[in-house]
Amino acid sequence: MVRETVLTPDDFIYPLFVVHGNGQQRPIRSMPGQHQWSVDLLPQQAEEIAALGIPAVILFGLPVTKDARGSENYAENGIVQQAIRAIKDAVPELVVVTDVCMCEYTDHGHCGILDDRGYVLNDPTLEVLQQVVSSHVEAGADIVAPSGMMDGAVAAIRQELDRIGATNTAIMAYAAKFASGFYGPFREAADSPPAFGDRKQYQMDPGNGREALLEVALDAAEGADILMVKPALPYLDILAQMRANFDRPTAAYHVSGEYAMIKAAAENGWIDERTVALESLTAIKRAGADMILTYFAKDAARWLKG
């Protein structure tokens, strides 16, 4: 009766990794319980997710081939474009969010176009992201989520959405995405490790809270509909300040490393998985998240219903 923060399946967005082929359900070794799915299996997944009361999914695609521009990212029949159509045909009411970045699709594994020295070229990258957004919207995406931390990405995407008349498509900005060590399992899941160097050139320094809030303010000013912090638990202070200072829906990504640590500790009998997972998700919501991207979404929805 006096609980202040109540967790429900409505709070969750479930990530899905999508691959080419048929009948593919490939286990992700570093993320027990998670899989890469081929498009033909997505309708069943979408129906299960919707039946659990989870309102949305976010899609990450693994292409057949990679190149310097990440061409399959904006191909008409690219893997994410196929996935969007399959899910929308099966469960039209399920909200489909798409990852708008290049790292899964480039042969160098970085989030943008590179120059000869290996530095990301910001503005040429924005032009590619505009192509990606148009392609995703054409396929039926409800929300596009730029995750590369490119300067001006939200403004460029807003401009492109206006150009194509996509007035009902929302932008979920990875407004404060930190150069974190918690992303390791995701790089296996999405086959997206950088071929050289790291992503500190364009992601946030974990020690910089004031700069993070500046980045959030810039994305809000450029027209972001939803503001996100990533990762979640190590940056609850940033999430709470974002909630207090910006009158926009807020999201937090409970990332692969956070998920994998709970799974590993539970498998060793050191913690109770259900208790710790729900406690973690409740803490993220208590700090200010209106929505939580989490690999625990299906399990948590079952636990909450049970």
CA distance 53 to 218: 33
The three state secondary structure string of 156-187 is HHHHHHHHCCCCCCEEEEEEEEECCHHHHHHH
| Cis check: omega of the bond before 231, within 30 degrees of 0 | yes
Task: Examine the residue annotation and report whether 298 is marked as an active-site residue of this protein.
Answer: no
Task: Examine the residue annotation and report whether 305 is marked as an active-site residue of this protein.
Answer: no
Q: Where are the alpha helices (DSSP H) in the chain?
A: 42-51, 79-90, 122-139, 153-163, 184-189, 209-222, 236-245, 256-267, 273-287, 297-305
- Residue found under tokens 């690999």: 295
CA distance 136 to 83: 10
Of the CA atoms within 13 Å of residue 78, those in its CB half-sphere come to 28
Which position among 66, 88, 177, 263 bears the catalytic label? 177
Which position among 66, 88, 200, 230 bears the catalytic label? 230
20 secondary structure, DSSP code: S
For the chain, how big is the Rg over CA atoms in Å? 18
* Active site residues per annotation: 177, 230
